[in-house]
Amino acid sequence: KLSHRLEAVANNIPEGTRLADIGSDHAYLPCNVVKKGTVSMAIAGEVAEGPFQSALEQVREESLIDKISVRKGDGLEVIQPGEVDCVTIAGMGGTLISTILEQGKSKLEGVSRLVLQPNVGSFAVRKWLIGNGWELIKEEILEEDRKIYEILVAEKGEPMKPYQHINFENGILFGPFLLKEKPEVFKEKWNAEKRNWERILKQLDEAVQNEDTESKRQELKTKLKMAEEA
């Protein structure tokens, strides 16, 4: 059984697609969607030897070796152009996810959907999508084991569309759909961030004042203002 987080990722993989799950670790996600029949085949990509072996083991154990190809390599280098329709990248930081997408751009031709689950720094993913012709079509936020996760779903389209009637900077940081819908978990996340920023600001106020503390204070004040607006 998948974690709620991976279940939510799986639910955004369209029926009948061919999947590449990059940074697959135990290959739980591809095994699950292949068994359910959601996807016809899958590639599980892993850069590290340990997780690569775990993926192989899992796929063998579940007798899925004819439907899931476990490949070792960095990011999207494990796929050929046109080989898959959907790419999932989950459980990493947003910066790493956007680096993987950027370096593997040429492999995304023919891919119609990206399902991305950054643990932190989702703004980096949103920025990459905008710069590369991908339109965010849905965002989800969920809490599991006291951690909060975001899921970003994108398809080729009009990248600026979700940002049309909102403040762009806020949209990038908070997520255009999440900002509109403001789910309970979303409020929880940003209230916690806000408390954290306020705490740091207070410490800075008490510290020796110099250029560094001043610029940090300004940065935190800007973020606080954005969070309050949101």
Q: Give the binding site for ligand SAM (CB under 6 A).
A: 6, 22-25, 45-48, 51, 74-75, 90-92, 96, 100
The helix, strand and coil proportions of the chain, stated in percent and rounded to the nearest 5, come to 50, 25, 25
Nearer to ligand SAM by Cβ, of 52 and 186: the residue is 52
- Is there a contact between 47 and 74 (Cβ–Cβ < 8 Å)? yes
CB neighbours of residue 17 within 10 Å: 20
- Is there a contact between 32 and 5 (Cβ–Cβ < 8 Å)? no
CB neighbours of residue 49 within 10 Å: 9
Nearer to ligand SAM by Cβ, of 91 and 175: the residue is 91
Nearest approach, Cβ of residue 164 and ligand SAM (Å): 31
Nearest approach, Cβ of residue 38 and ligand SAM (Å): 16
End-to-end Cα distance, the chain: 36
Nearest approach, Cβ of residue 97 and ligand SAM (Å): 9
Nearest approach, Cβ of residue 107 and ligand SAM (Å): 12
Nearer to ligand SAM by Cβ, of 17 and 58: the residue is 58
Nearer to ligand SAM by Cβ, of 45 and 175: the residue is 45
Determine the residue type at 7: E
